[in-house]
Amino acid sequence: MSLVELAAEPARDTTAHRANQTSWSRDAVIYQIYVRSFADSDGDGVGDLAGITSRLDYLASLGVDAIWLTPFYRSPMADGGYDVADYRDIDPALGTLRDFDAMLAQAHARGLRVIIDVVPNHASSAHRWFAEALAAGPGSPQRQRFHFRTGGETPPNNWQSIFRGSAWTRLPDGDWYLHLFAPEQPDLNWEHPDVRAEFAEVLRFWLDRGVDGIRIDVAHGLVKKEGLPDWTPDPSLGMSDHQDDAPYWAQPGVHPIYRDWHQVLAEFGPDRVLIGEAWVEPLSKLAEWVRPDEMQQTFNFTFLETPWDAAALHKVVDDSLAAFGAVRAPSTWVLSNHDVIRHATRLALTPPPPQGEGLGPTSQLYPDDLVGQRRARAASAFMLALPGSAYLYQGEELGLPEVIDLPDSARQDPTFFRTGGKNYGRDGARVPIPWDVASPSAGFGPTGASWLPQPHTWPGYARDAQLGIPGSTLEFYREALAARRTHHLARNELVWQPSPDPAALVFRSGAVTVIANTGATPVALPAGRVVLASGAVGADRLPGDTTAWLVD
Ligand code: GLC
């Protein structure tokens, strides 16, 4: 369907649609909390809900509008909690439902909205339904809630897991079951009415408790092409996540599910939001996820994967605003999350990693590690000036790099094991974050325990080492978030301006001129008073790898 057709699609539930046009989320800055690595209240080395509550003042003073919590449900943690055993309970290592309610109330008391993460593509193999399916045996109705197939010695098709290896596992009784991720994450069968009914109730359970939004994990994967046909990814395109002809990504049948969920949210008033994690390209196709009667937002991973290059950034901004604008949705912007190489490291990789690939023993970094820090701040200043909603990942406001040299014995990400160590996986972006320079585990928890070891450089990035220090990354983020609000940057129209150099981008947003220099040599600064700079600026020159905001 073309953009014009998308825009012309008639809207259905008009009250909810009108609300989407004015939703709080359209210009929100949403801070992602990877719960296990944010703050540990009880000293077991694992972050928890009470730890989040204890740090809410910090988040409020940082100037974000909302927090998104990665899964905290009961889970064997085969994939960091994205293997959910019980969608209505909290994992004991992370707290209790009472802790959740307390956290939610305290966040709301500080004006922070709370978004939770729902994982509908797959459950944990420890989920009650899977146990029932195993017990009931081949051919049983209980197996129809998942994708079981009777087969021979080889898997029913050639699909590969996103974490590598076959996407099928065989049981001793001869049946195979599908898992697009780890074997401990069996895919649910969304053609089954029980699955649809159960998730509508799970959404109501959390909406009723008062959550403001739901991030939908693997939102592009729920429906598989009929017959589960063989499919061989194009190896030049990296992870199959990025390939839009896969028979398990972006099937048309996912959209009716989100139209139903849109209605479930509307039962709770006009303000609740659905956010899709859909690795779908091109942006015009991704925009189908945020048509007026579907979700409110979807992550813009095309932006995240754009190199630090003026022409590429110009294009992705134009494409994003056009694609999302055509369906009257805000664009979103994101540079880091728990699945990708932190941008303070990613932007200094030479050459950049292939799409969707992690770091590995052969990755090359610029010898000067300050390049990554400079580029990360410049890219964040560029992102935070763009119209729409922006996502921050915990620790980026401290300038944290990816931790590359974790001992193999400490690693936990299934990707590391399923690639035989060729891809380090995502643990390096998930190391517990530093708060206080002089405390054990840099203030992450009271005992010094930390489920992934922190590098010796971590205390240098601690919050208290940066708070109130002019020029620190933390103060830079605080200033950027405040100025973004003062100057309404997220709501203004972006108007490109002539640039003094091909490596620089210049745009106007209301009374603010934004200039980002992606090159290595200084360029002329536009006229105006600098209200934000990602690094030191001269009187009339903007150094390389620096972004500045100026007012008339
Ligand atoms: C999403 C999550 C990722 C997880 C995967 C499987 O991509 O962000 O962390 O491993 O889904 O649930």
pLDDT given at position 367: 57
- What's the gap in Å between 339 CA and the centre of ligand 1? 7
121 Cα–ligand 1 center, Å: 10
Strand-pair partners of 146: 188
The pLDDT of 68-87, averaged and rounded, is 98
The number of the ligand 1 atom at minimal distance from the alpha carbon of 180 is: 6
Q: From the CA of 83, give the closest atom in ligand 1.
A: 12
Ligand 1 mean position, distance from CA 82 (Å)? 6
Check if 406 has its Cβ closer than 6 Å to any atom of ligand 1: no
Pocket test for ligand 1, best of 339, 412, 417 (most atoms within 8 A of CB): 339
What is the reported pLDDT for 239?
54
> Judging by DSSP bridges, how do beta strands 213-216 and 113-118 pair with one another?
parallel
State in Å, rounded, how far the first CA of the chain is from the last one: 43
Query: Ligand 1: does its nearest atom lie under 6 Å from the Cβ of 31?
Result: no
Sign of CA dihedral 319, 324, 330, 335: negative
Q: Please tell me the predicted confidence (pLDDT) of residue 368.
A: 63
Q: Compute the average pLDDT of residues 108-132.
A: 98
Phi, psi dihedral angles at 551 (to 5 degrees): -115, 155
Site to substitute for ligand 1 among 181, 187, 275, 279, most atoms within 8 A of C-beta = 181
For residue range 485-518, list pLDDT tens digits in order.
Answer: 999 999 999 999 999 999 999 999 999 999 999 9
pLDDT at 130 over 50: yes
User: In terms of pTM, does the model score above 0.75?
Assistant: yes
**Ligand 1 atom at shortest distance from the alpha carbon of 163:** 10
**pLDDT digit string, tens, across residues 57-66:** 999 999 999 9
pLDDT tens per residue, range 413-472: 999 998 899 889 999 999 999 999 999 999 999 999 999 999 999 999 999 999 999 999
Give ∠ CA 154-159-165 in degrees, rounded to 5: 80
Cα 218 to averaged position of ligand 1 atoms, centre (Å): 7
What's the confidence (pLDDT) of residue 361? 80
Q: What Å distances lie between residue 289 and 240, 250, 338, 420, CA to CA?
A: 19, 9, 22, 35
Question: Count of H helices and E strands in the chain?
Answer: 16, 20
Q: Which atom of ligand 1 is found nearest the CA of 82? A: 12
Q: Which residues contact 32 (CB under 8 A, 6 or more apart)?
A: 67, 68, 70, 337, 338, 391, 392, 393, 394
For residue 376, what pLDDT is reported? 98
Any atom of ligand 1 within 6 Å of the Cβ of 339 = yes
* 301, 20 contact by CB (below 8 A): no
* Mean pLDDT within 474-490: 98
Catalytic residues: 217, 267
Closest CA to 111 of 24, 23, 37: 24
Answer whether residue 5 shows pLDDT above 60: no
Residue nearest to atom 2 of ligand 1 (CA): 217
pLDDT at 349: 84
Looking at the CA of residue 181, tell me the nearest atom of ligand 1: 6
Ligand 1 atom nearest to 338, measured from its CA: 9
CA gyration radius for the chain? 23
| Ligand 1 binding pocket includes 305 (Cβ within 6 Å) | no
Residue-level pLDDT at 10: 42
* Per-residue model confidence (pLDDT) at position 11: 45
pLDDT at 9 over 90: no
What residue ranges in 158-258 does DSSP mark as E strands? 168-170, 175-178, 213-216
The CA 217 to ligand 1 mean position distance, Å, reads: 6
Q: How far is the CA of 83 from the centre of ligand 1 (A)?
A: 9
- Across 20-33, average pLDDT: 90
Which residue is closest in CA terms to ligand 1's atom 6? 82
pLDDT of 470 reads 96
Whole-number Å distance between alpha carbons of 381 and 510: 16
Residue 245 pLDDT class (50, 70, 90 cuts): confident
Q: Is the CB of 82 under 6 A from ligand 1?
A: yes
Q: Minimal CA–CA distance to 45: which of 464, 463, 460, 454? A: 454
Is pLDDT above 60 for 18? no
Which protein residue's CA is at the shortest distance from atom 3 of ligand 1? 339
* Residue 113 alpha carbon to ligand 1 centre in Å: 22
Cβ–ligand 1 contact at 190 (below 6 Å) = no
pLDDT of amino acid 505: 98
Confidence band of 27 (pLDDT split at 50, 70, 90): very high
pLDDT at 363: 77
pLDDT score for 253: 97
How remote is the C-alpha of 65 from its chain's centroid? 16
Window from 155-169, 286-300, 336-350, 361-375 with minimum mean pLDDT: 361-375
Q: What is the dihedral of CA 307, 484, 295, 325, to 10 degrees?
A: -70
| pLDDT given at position 373 | 94
The reply to whether ligand 1 has any atom less than 6 angstroms from the CB of 181 is: yes
| Closest atom, ligand 1, to C-alpha of 119 | 12
Q: What percent of the chain has pLDDT over 70?
A: 93
Positions of E strands within 185-234? 213-216
- Give me the chain's average pLDDT, please: 93
- Residue 391 Cβ inside 6 Å of ligand 1? The answer reads no
The pLDDT, as a whole number, for residue 20 is 65
Q: Is the CB of 68 under 6 A from ligand 1?
A: no
